[in-house]
Amino acid sequence: MDLKSGGKTRFLQIHELEELRNHAYESSSRYTERVKRFHDKILRDHKDLRIGDLLLLYNSKLRLFPGKLKSRWMGPYKVKEIFSYGVVTIEDPNGASFKVNGHHLKLYIKGPVDPVEEILELHIPRT
């Protein structure tokens, strides 16, 4: 292979690599936009709060206490007022009210609790 044809081949390889990089960048951008739309849709759909709804508040300061199975959600609290940009005024059962970020809230679903428990007996396998 002479120098001229080798240079031409190398030039084509470099441009092919550049096209692959551009294609990967565009594909990554499309994926990011699609994931963002999906995430925003989920956030918007599940945060339809109304005055009087019962909510649970996420307690981020609970990490100092031991017990990984302890719930970090406190409540229920009642929605008193809703402001723009996701700020919500909630009221605890004692009547004290305070403002919190709406991202730290989730709806409290109160339902009947079935008192019947299922008991499974575990047997030790014989060897």
Query: pLDDT tens digits for 53-62?
Result: 999 999 877 5
Query: Phi, psi at residue 78, to the nearest 5°?
Result: -110, 140
Residue pointed to by tokens 């047997």:
123
124 has a pLDDT exceeding 60: yes
Written as six digits, the tokens of 81 are: 């007022």
Rounded Cα distance, 12 and 34, in Å: 33
Average pLDDT over every residue of 1-9? 83
Written as six digits, the tokens of 31 are: 């994926």
pTM higher than 0.85 for the full model? no
pLDDT in tens, 75-117: 899 999 998 788 899 999 899 999 998 888 988 988 766 666 6
Is the pLDDT higher at 70 or at 16? 16
3 has a pLDDT exceeding 70: yes
Residue pointed to by tokens 């190398």:
10
Question: What's residue 28's pLDDT?
Answer: 95
Is the pLDDT higher at 27 or at 43? 27
pLDDT in tens, 31-64: 999 999 888 777 655 567 889 999 999 987 756 5
**DSSP-based helix, strand, coil % in the chain, nearest 5:** 45, 20, 35
| Class of 49-107 in CATH | mainly beta
